[in-house]
Structure 1
Amino acid sequence: MASFVRTPPLLFPATARHTATVIFIHGLGDTGYGWASAVENWRRRQRLDEVKFILPNAPSIPITCNMGMKMPGWYDIHTIDGNAESLRRNEDEAGILVSQAYFHDLIQKEIDSGIPAERIVIGGFSQGGAMSLFSGLTSKVKLGGIVALSSYLLLSLKFVDWLPKPCSNQDTPIFMAHGDSDQVVNTELGRKSFSLLKEAGFNASLKIYPNMGHSACLEELDDMEKFLTESLPPAGSPERSEL
């Protein structure tokens, strides 16, 4: 997977002084542009003016459940049949770890540019949400928050083995959301992932949206905006020193 061409992320600079960053990861077969309208809507509402948005683009890789044909993906998936256990079988551990390293690098680049780790939120939808959970919770720096929409916990059978000791993000707020009619990433898998995180002592919440399939709805996007606003409150202008 490392040999595949990766195009640069889509960037939305902060409209005020840049004090925080959100990295939001698209799902299988999509690109960063698929979530551009959501970011543009939040920007129009002017509640996240200090936030820079980074929308990464997955490399085009062979996907087994797509008959091996290439499509944008963060890791290979063998089966998508709505079965809660199918996604947990034959997980592409190598691909997951390559993408994890990429997202950890994006986080570090923001830190290197002067943004505190606790002013960075990583999130995503579907496969991107799965990567945001895995990359966020295995990060060695404490983040401001993690968002996982219509997704699940990767490598869940041995997830704790990948956590840093001590775990930097044990108390980091995690916003999980799922439709109750999801036929792609089964809602039950989302519930099980949430339960595993709670049992492990993580600060996770889960909201289920009625009659929503494998997609996003306006209420969910509003709830995510609220989570981002609470996780990344305005830092304000730097104080001027007295001469």
Structure 2
Amino acid sequence: MNDSSDQKLERVMLETGDAPRHAVIWLHGLGADGHDFEPIVPQLASASRRPVRFVFPHAPVRPVTINGGMAMRAWYDILGVDIDRDQDMAGIRASIQAVDGLIDEQEADGIAPGNIVLAGFSQGGAIALRCGLARSEPLAGLIGLSTYLVEADGLPDWAGPDARAMPLFIGHGTQDPIVPVGLGEASARRLRSAGFDVEWQTWPMPHAVCAEEVQAIDGWLEKRLS
């Protein structure tokens, strides 16, 4: 089994121009891989207007308890149906460390933290929010799609000192049977009540991304990448 804590994550990388000064790191959901969100890049006018580096990492392959122990790409194990309660904290922390490493790589390559957006879908979104909010230096922004906040009860103790300066885009489908919209809404509400800058939107869709959501993300990204 691969362990995300002791090796660099494999990844897909796309650049929309030469010498990009902005980067978007996008984490896929359970059972997918880094190729899952590649098709979104040509749909983002915000990325076509300037050189942007997109980094789509592959999660490690690990057994997933709720799927009968089947091995698949996962940022952490899902131990039971109460996904916001039955949490694999060791796996979550290992993936946070690995994603922190990805962000550090972009910084070392000359992209400032304020020009890096961290995004994710489903459990990839859970890692994106938890990782990004804990950074000591704020990023350009965070995107969480069809997801929820892990370690929500510990907020804001584990958040970075300037995390409230980061804009957050959180989107969800109202017909989501995998991650109930109530979990996403409760996460957005908790973040807002703690003083974080949250844009919360929903669409009549299942556990997915729709064209209208992509358009909303594009408009949000335009402000973050300018």
TM-score greater than 0.5 by the shorter chain: yes
Matching residue of 1:77:
78
What is the identity, as a one-letter code, of the residue corresponding to 1:161?
Answer: D
The reply to whether residue 97 of structure 1 matches residue 90 of structure 2 is: no
Give the C-alpha shift of residue 7 in structure 1.
Answer: 5.3
The reply to whether residue 12 of structure 1 matches residue 48 of structure 2 is: no
Give the C-alpha shift of residue 30 in structure 1.
Answer: 0.2
Question: How does the TM-score come out when normalised to structure 2?
Answer: 0.93
1:50-92 residue CA offsets vs partner (Å, 9 max, x unmatched):
1100001001101010111111000011224xxxxx1122211
C-alpha distance 24-3 of structure 1, shift in aligned 2 (>3 A): closer
Instruction: Give 4+ residue runs of structure 1 displaced > 6 Å after superposition.
Output: 3-6
What is the identity, as a one-letter code, of the residue corresponding to 2:182?
Answer: E
Q: Aligned partners of 2:133 and 2:71: how far apart in 1? A: 29
Matching residue of 1:231:
224
**153, 157, 175: which one aligns with 2:169:** 175
Question: How does the TM-score come out when normalised to structure 1?
Answer: 0.87
Structure 1 stretches of 5 or more lacking a match?
81-85, 234-243
Q: Aligned partners of 2:179 and 2:36: how far apart in 1? A: 18
C-alpha distance 103-33 of structure 1, shift in aligned 2 (>3 A): same
Q: Aligned partners of 1:24 and 1:2: how far apart in 2? A: 16
Contact 1:4 1:59 in 2 (8 A): no
Q: Aligned partners of 1:41 and 1:228: how far apart in 2? A: 12
Bigger Rg, structure 1 or 2:
1
Contact 1:47 1:229 in 2 (8 A): no
Contact 2:192 2:198 in 1 (8 A): yes
Task: Point out the more displaced range, 49-58 or 5-14.
Answer: 5-14
Which of the two has greater strand per residue? 2
Give the share of equivalent positions with the same residue, in percent.
Answer: 33
1:119-170 residue CA offsets vs partner (Å, 9 max, x unmatched):
0000011111111100110111110010000000011122333223xx2221
1:158-208 residue CA offsets vs partner (Å, 9 max, x unmatched):
2333223xx222121100000111110000000100011001100011001
What is the identity, as a one-letter code, of the residue corresponding to 1:87?
Answer: I
- Secondary structure, counterpart of 1:147 in structure 2: strand
C-alpha distance 53-2 of structure 1, shift in aligned 2 (>3 A): closer
C-alpha distance 7-142 of structure 1, shift in aligned 2 (>3 A): closer
**124, 127, 130: which one aligns with 1:128:** 124
What is the identity, as a one-letter code, of the residue corresponding to 2:136?
Answer: K
Matching residue of 1:58:
59
What is the identity, as a one-letter code, of the residue corresponding to 1:11?
Answer: M
| Count of aligned residue pairs for this structure pair | 224
Contact 1:21 1:53 in 2 (8 A): yes
Matching residue of 2:159:
163
Q: Aligned partners of 2:69 and 2:179: how far apart in 1? A: 20
